[in-house]
Structure 1
Amino acid sequence: MNAAAAEGPVVVLRVLEKGPARAYAIEAPLHATTRVGPLEIVPTRCWEPPPEDVPESAAFLVITERDPAGRFAGSEIFRGWMFASSPGLSALEYPTHDVWVLDCRLGGTPATEPRAEPPTPPVEPEVADESPR
């Protein structure tokens, strides 16, 4: 996919081709299928925090493995959030390719889907220190 051709919200992905050990970035438009070798990647959500918060990008991706000959649809091998700040935690490791999120570019164009908050881990309630001072 030509990076300059992408319009509207896109997810920037890093792809590692394991055979030639080549890494490159691609832009995958929301709700569109982007092919990477035998993988089809469809980003469905893009999330960025407000500018005053710590920079972070996250994307909800559906990744399907396709039959190389294209005779039949393959199986879904990933469905979930990928976080740019934690590629080791949420990247897809596939025999021929690794894929992880670098950025979520919403630009001035509103997303076709409302922004979705990524899942957050449970937070332990703070216990107030009630000792006299």
Structure 2
Amino acid sequence: MIRVLALTLAVLCPLQAAAQEMQAAPGGTLRLLDKVTGRVADLALSRGQSVGQGRVTVQLDECRYPRDNPAADAQAHLTVVDTAAGTTVFSGWMLASSPALSAMDHHRYDIWVLSCDSGFVAPDVTAPEEDPDAPLEEINEG
């Protein structure tokens, strides 16, 4: 009986995985926190570029964003090397919307993804011109 019910539900209510189409970006922006000094630095990197910051070197291997919504969740593949110890402390994907899902475990530094360079530029918004000498409109409640 349970098998029949499960089969019926599977046929009547098919689950479709909503896979987003991802677009590769030429670069991205990361944020680095030095937990000892409290300093925060934003790192704008191109794909394949690395930068040394304090005792770590951060390399942006890849950055992707949803094609249909460029301002949405960024995903970046990073390689982070502790230059003092000469060891790789992180190599993998980080998600901007869930930084704790795949976080770097380092005693001094935290790194997370802010965004990918999608080429998206928000349109300019201009405020309507107002006459400073015009009387204010009154709101009548009736």
Q: TM-score band (shorter)?
A: 0.5 to 0.7
Task: Write the mapping of 1:4-23 to structure 2, written as runs, cut at 5 A.
Answer: 9-23=26-40
User: What 5-or-longer segments of structure 2 have no aligned partner?
Assistant: 1-24, 121-142
Structure 1 unpaired stretches of 5+: 1-7, 69-73, 109-133
Output the amino acid matched with 1:105: D
| Structure 1 length-normalised TM | 0.63
Q: What amino acid sits opposite 2:46 in the alignment? A: P
State the partner residue of 1:36: 53
Letter in 1 for 2:115: D
Would the alpha carbon gap of residues 52 and 66 (structure 1) be closer, same or farther in structure 2, given more than 3 Å must change?
closer
The answer to whether the 8 A contact 1:93-1:99 is kept is no
How big is each residue's C-alpha offset from its partner over 1:48-100, in whole Å with a ceiling of 9 and x where there is no partner?
001348821000111111127xxxxx111111100000012223232221111
Q: What does residue 89 of structure 2 align with?
A: 77
- State the alpha-carbon separation in 2 of the partners of residues 11 and 54 from structure 1: 12
CA RMSD of aligned residues (A): 2.3
Partner of 2:78: 61
Structure 1 runs of 4+ with >2 Å offset? 51-54
Whole-angstrom CA distance in 2 between matches of 1:21 and 1:52? 33
Residue number in structure 2 paired with 1:95: 107
Q: Establish whether residue 51 from structure 1 lines up as the match of residue 68 from structure 2.
A: yes
Whole-angstrom CA distance in 2 between matches of 1:58 and 1:14 = 14
Distance 1:52 1:98 in 2: 27
Q: TM-score, normalised by structure 2?
A: 0.59
Match of 1:107 among 100, 103, 119: 119
Q: Which one has the largest radius of gyration?
A: 2
Cα displacement (A) at 1:24: 3.0
Whether the aligned pair in 1 keeps the contact of 2:70 and 2:118 (CA below 8 Å) is no
